[in-house]
Every structure is written in C-alpha cells, then in structure tokens.
Amino acid sequence: MSRDDDLPETPGRRRALKGALAAGALLAVPGMAEAQAADPTGRPADPTGTPADAVGARYRNPLVRNRADPHIHRHTDGFYYFTATAPEYDRIILRRSRTLRGLATATETVLWTKHPSGAMGAHIWAPEIHHIDGKWYIYFASAPAEDIWAIRIWVLENSGPDPFKGTWVERGQLRTAWETFSLDATTFTHRGSRYLAWAQHEPGMDNNTAVWLSKMSDPITLTGPQVRLTTPEFGWERVGYRVNEGPSVIKRNGRLFMTYSASATDFNYCMGLLTADARSDLMDPANWAKSPTPVFTSNDTTEQYGPGHNCFTVAEDGRTDVLVYHARQYKEIVGDPLNDPNRHTRVQRLGWKRDGTPDFGIPVADDRPVPDARSATDARSATDGHPATAIPPKERA
C-alpha cells in the first residue's frame, strides 16, 4: 500500500520511449526517503552511513519464508495484512501484525481452500487483499481441477470489519474481454475512478501475457475498454517465456509508477517500470512511458535471484516507502522453477532519486544463513509442513 488511497497501485499500456522515465526534474517530497549509493552488501546507505533498507534495522530478510507473490495491505486499523502464494498452490492464507517485522512470526490463517473438483480447483496463485467501500476483497488466480492451465481471475468478498472473521463469499470470475490465460489482478483508485490492472494473453499475440488496464464500475466488474499497457518486447522480457505480469502501482511526485515482472520465474525474472503523469488520462496507452531496461534484477553479490512480483507498502513511520517482493537465494534450480517452493518474501526500503523517480537499488542480502534446498522434489515448506506440489511445466498461453 501507500499513503495515497489504497495504493501501491497499478496502470496501463506501453509506449516504449527510449529515454524512458519522463523528463523533468521534480524534487523529492520533503522528508521522503532518498536512495543513496549501495554498499557491497546491497544495502543503500543514508547520509549517516546507516543501512537504509531496513529503516533502523527493523527488518530481516527473508521476512516470510516459502511465500511468493507477496501482497501487504496496511489498513486504517493500524495493522499490516499479508497474503501470498503458498507453494502447494492450494489455499489462500492471511497474517496480520502491527509491524512489518511482526509478519514473520504472526499466526497464519487459512481463509479459503481450493475446490476438490471443477472451477477454482488448481493453481491458487497471487492473492491480493483490498478493502473497498467497507468490504474486504481478495483477487486471485485459479484454474479448474480438470484443466489446470485454464487460469482466470476470481474474487472473494467479506463484508465484515475483520477479514479473519465473517464469511468469505465466492463472487465468481472477474470477466475480461477474452476467455484466455489471465492472472495477477490488482486494483487502485486515482482521481475518483477505480482501476484494475492484470496480466492476460491476448489472442493472436506472440507472447504469453501482457499487462492490461480497465476502469471498474464496482469491485468485481470492469467497465469500458481494456487497454494494453505493456507487452514483452525487449530481450530481458522474453527469457524462457514472453511474460509481463504482476503489476503494482505507487503514486508519488506527480506521477504514477507501475512495476511489473518479466520473463521466466527463475533467475531471469526481473522487474520493469511504466510511468504516467498523474494528470494524464490513464486509459490512453500513449501516456505511459516504458523503461527500456529492467529496474530490479538478480544480483550475484547479494545472492538474490529472480526478484519480482512486488507490491509497495509504507513503513511504521507512515512516510518511508517499502518495496515488497519475492526472490530465491540460489540461481540454479532442479526441474521446473514453479515446482521450487523457495521463493521467499522480502522487504527493503524504496529510495527516490532527485528527479522524483523511484530508485530500487539491488535486492539486499539475507541477514542469516538458510538451508541449501535446491531440489524441487525434496523441498518442503518451512512454515507449514505441506509438501511441495508437483506441477507440470508452465504453459501460460
């Protein structure tokens, strides 16, 4: 999340500008975290030399083990709500804590489990929790048990004030223009309108997924056109798979910045960036400038590989922006990366350049040793004891 509305948020189609992150030298908002040079461990230092990624060393990575595609919502009740993909791809979980660090040991509750057959019976991926108009919503991806790659976007709703209580109602599939592979939905508001951004395969396109944007008439219904924000066009977006997915948006300094993830889910996985002026029409793809280079990538020095599928939140001080993402601690993987459960949730401070654009730096090193578990066949979840689910090779289109 962020300090604006219900954001970290999300946006629209690509216009590949080779000089990419918009011109103009906007100064950072007073008091906002500013990125400095990184030390050899990957921790950007503040002017006093204090590691800036942890905001006073409050965080230790990995924050939550064996949880990929993390999403953290900081609610008005003062709690951080955390959900993510479990490596068994069979359930939706939720944790809550008054601090980010507390999420590491917070009790994890299973809110919903996959159906034994039929719709929502396989590949429970990338849940996001949002509080909209007094109700809780979870957007997630799933497929029928009998057709596990027919992945679509689905929605749960809870009208109670506490998402751990009340009833989570299945509101059905969130319908897009085509019945094709779709996932990674996120929602945000801007200038009085609600938007949905997501990844989907477009019929006839030479890619696996592109990122799309549409306005919403309510939390489960798209309205008007859906526009393509970015499709895999650069080499770094087309390694293994031609993928743009996992959008997330943050509004700062008169602009909207949308991150997305690209390529296969191994060490080639990385993050790209789109930028739009906050005064522009977000539904016009020409108003989104695309960076020609990735903004967050694997790093051999800090031994962090495949960073991506991020969201944004804000630190306990209410001002410092925090990048939330997953990554592995090793490069080489035995078998399909989707069978490997060791994508762990990580957090670090998000810096800001003097021109008002985000400075992601590099994924910081872990603070402690971790098991050397590279085999998807033998790996097990350290947090819940569920065995890793055997999944056939990823077929996104």
- Nearest of 290, 291, 294 to residue 236 by alpha carbon: 294
Q: What single letter denotes the amino acid at residue 12?
A: G
| Dihedral angle over CA of 267, 297, 250, 25, nearest 10 | -160
> Out of 184, 202, 245, 366, which one is annotated catalytic?
245
> Out of 53, 69, 108, 237, which one is annotated catalytic?
69
- Nearest of 364, 291, 365, 350 to residue 35 by alpha carbon: 350
Q: What single letter denotes the amino acid at residue 181?
A: F
- Answer yes or no: are the C-beta atoms of 252 and 356 closer than 8 Å: yes
Report the alpha-carbon distance of residue 61 to residue 50 in Å, rounded.
Answer: 17
CA atoms within 13 A of residue 79's CA, in its CB half-sphere? 15
- Nearest of 305, 301, 365, 300 to residue 340 by alpha carbon: 305
| Residue 69 is a catalytic residue | yes
**Is the preceding peptide bond at 285 cis, omega within 30 degrees of 0?**
no
Measure CA of the first residue to CA of the last residue in the chain; give whole Å. 30
**Residues in CB range of 292: below 8 A, 6 or more apart:** 16, 17, 18, 20, 234
| Residue 245 is a catalytic residue | yes
Write out the catalytic residue numbers: 69, 245
